């Protein structure tokens, strides 16, 4: 049976990837970090779903900042595939904790690669690279050959991780791939990323439990896809004959304002009555436009995004409305 190891299993992508790999018959190992409160909310449903083979899911404590834990985990599990999804992944926050972001999002990758090299094993390796590396874009649309120009400590850390992944492929013959993924969202998206912040607020405003929504730059453009489609591309990259790097994107771009309008429209709300601009959410340097060209992945991997932008936003708004309604009903019952 194939064994996969996922760093960042408790995150949005990690939870979708774990479900996907379990469905493919893998034994799945996830690295979780010690936390003072529960941090497994996204993967707990796997244990509760009778259709998901959760006995093949194992969680191990470790940290991308702790090389000894990574060495031990790789030596004991001996995985066939490793997906490095763990990161301090918030761009705005990376300006507040730049050194920590470099430590985890940058150096964390080389710790994992070194642990692989020192183990003498040859697992396939996936690195969660990001369209944030394109930053101040040098091409429109952005593709694998577009030069990087990161605009944040996060983007710079991801560029470092990208290049060490390429280097370990070339220097040591490791099957190592970079998936350069453009923004991807879902009902499991972290609540401080803009799409989820908006869909959750729209639901709460509709239910009368929130009045205002504070946002930053509404003019930035992003190429937003569905996380469930994107994790499939990660797996596909590790199934081809030769390791390579691929852009994963929809090829469509929308402003934050368009996304906001769509989310509020779904609940018959006028966003202009509720949204207030708060400069604390602006970044010292912004990435103004992202739009990806995924032709290489389509041609070589046979990958295609399935969920459209409109379907994605509708899915997120509906999920947040259902969740907030359930919370409200629970509060009323207890009251
Ligand atoms: P996410 O929801 O923020 O998840 C990040 C994961 O990393 C969480 O499981 C987190 O654990 C873990 N983590 C953080 N610090 C760690 C550490 N020191 N050691 C071990 N694990 C640590 O991110 P995501 O949206 O799923 O994205 C997955 C990966 O793809 C990230 O590397 C991200 O930078 C990259 N990426 C994301 C997108 C996107 O649009 N979503 C696009 C391109 C690239 P806790 O749960 O304990 O915090
Ligand atoms: O949702 P965001 O925070 O995502 P961002 O910065 O594009 O980063 C995400 O996608 C990257 C891929 O390109 C990943 F690598 C990264 O890990 C992360 O998943 O912000 C999107 C846009 C930005 O232009 C931001 O300035 O929305 C704008 N924005 C406006 N108001 C806001 C807000 N962003 C956040 N988080 N919160 C706001 O209130």
Tell whether 150 and 275 lie within a shared domain.
no
Tell whether 120 and 217 lie within a shared domain.
no
CB neighbours of 77 closer than 8 A, spacing ≥ 6? 3, 5, 29, 60
Tell whether 29 and 131 lie within a shared domain.
yes
CATH code: domain of residue 65: 3.40.50.720
Tell whether 161 and 214 lie within a shared domain.
no
Identify whether 295 is part of a domain: no
103 is an active site residue: no
Tell whether 258 and 241 lie within a shared domain.
no
Tell whether 18 and 167 lie within a shared domain.
yes
Active-site residue among 154, 162, 230, 246? 154
Tell whether 136 and 39 lie within a shared domain.
yes
CATH code: domain of residue 321: 3.90.25.10
Element (DSSP H or E) covering residue 60: strand 57-61
- Report d(CA 139, CA 60) in Å as an integer: 41
130 is an active site residue: yes
Number of the ligand 1 atom closest to the C-alpha atom of 183:
40
Tell whether 232 and 142 lie within a shared domain.
yes
Tell whether 283 and 156 lie within a shared domain.
no
Is residue 218 within 8 A of residue 261, CB to CB? The reply is no
Q: Which ligand is nearest to the CA of 92?
A: 2
CB neighbours of 328 closer than 8 A, spacing ≥ 6? 207, 209
C-alpha of residue 184 to centroid of ligand 1, in Å:
12
Identify whether 130 is part of a domain: yes
C-alpha of residue 193 to centroid of ligand 2, in Å:
6
**pLDDT on residue 257:** 98
Identify whether 299 is part of a domain: no
Low-confidence ranges of the chain (pLDDT < 70): 54
Identify whether 302 is part of a domain: no
Is the Cβ atom of 39 under 6 angstroms away from ligand 2? no
**pLDDT on residue 54:** 67
Considering its fold, how many domains does the chain have in total?
Answer: 2
- Report d(CA 290, CA 276) in Å as an integer: 24
Tell whether 279 and 236 lie within a shared domain.
no
Among protein residues, the one with the nearest Cα to ligand 2's atom 16 is: 89
**Pocket of ligand 1 from Cβ distances under 6 Å:** 7-8, 10-14, 31, 33, 35, 39, 63-65, 85-89, 104, 128, 130, 181, 183-184, 190
Tell whether 142 and 200 lie within a shared domain.
no
**pLDDT on residue 55:** 84
Tell whether 265 and 325 lie within a shared domain.
yes
C-alpha of residue 87 to centroid of ligand 1, in Å:
4
Residue with tokens 């091409």: 139
Identify whether 17 is part of a domain: yes
Burial bucket for residue 37 (CB in 10 Å: 0-12, 13-18, 19+):
exposed
Domain extent at residue 125: 3-185+224-248
Is the Cβ atom of 255 under 6 angstroms away from ligand 2? no
**pLDDT on residue 133:** 99
Identify whether 38 is part of a domain: yes
69 is an active site residue: no
């Amino acid at each position: 049976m194939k064994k996969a190891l996922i760093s960042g299993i408790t995150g949005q992508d990690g939870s979708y990837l774990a479900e996907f790999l379990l469905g493919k018959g893998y034994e799945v190992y996830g690295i979780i970090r010690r936390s003072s409160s529960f941090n497994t909310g996204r993967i707990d449903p796997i244990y509760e779903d009778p259709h998901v083979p959760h006995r093949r899911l194992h969680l191990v404590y470790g940290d991308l900042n702790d090389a000894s834990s990574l060495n031990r985990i790789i030596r004991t599990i001996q995985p066939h595939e490793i997906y490095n999804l763990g990161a301090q992944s918030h761009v705005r926050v990376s300006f507040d904790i730049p050194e920590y972001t470099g430590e985890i999002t940058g150096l964390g990758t080389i710790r994992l690669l070194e642990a692989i090299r020192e183990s003498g094993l040859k697992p396939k390796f996936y690195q969660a690279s990001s369209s944030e590396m394109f930053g101040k874009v040098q091409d429109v649309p952005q593709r694998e050959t577009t030069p990087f120009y990161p605009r944040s400590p996060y983007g710079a850390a991801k560029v470092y991780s990208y290049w060490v992944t390429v280097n370990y492929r070339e220097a040591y013959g490791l099957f190592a791939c970079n998936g350069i993924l453009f923004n991807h969202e879902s009902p499991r998206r972290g609540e401080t990323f803009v799409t989820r912040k908006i869909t959750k607020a729209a639901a709460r405003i509709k239910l009368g439990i929130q009045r205002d929504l504070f946002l930053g730059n509404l003019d930035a453009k992003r190429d937003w896809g569905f996380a469930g489609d994107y994790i499939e591309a990660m797996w596909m990259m590790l199934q081809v004959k030769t390791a390579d790097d691929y852009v994963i994107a929809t090829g469509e771009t929308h402003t934050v304002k368009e996304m906001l309008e769509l989310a509020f429209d779904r609940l018959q709300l006028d966003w202009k009555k509720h949204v207030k601009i708060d400069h604390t959410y602006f970044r010292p340097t912004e990435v103004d436009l992202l739009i990806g060209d995924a032709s290489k992945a389509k041609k070589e991997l046979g990958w295609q995004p399935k969920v459209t932008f409109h379907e994605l936003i509708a899915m997120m708004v509906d999920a947040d409305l259902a969740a907030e309604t359930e919370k409200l009903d629970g509060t009323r019952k207890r009251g």
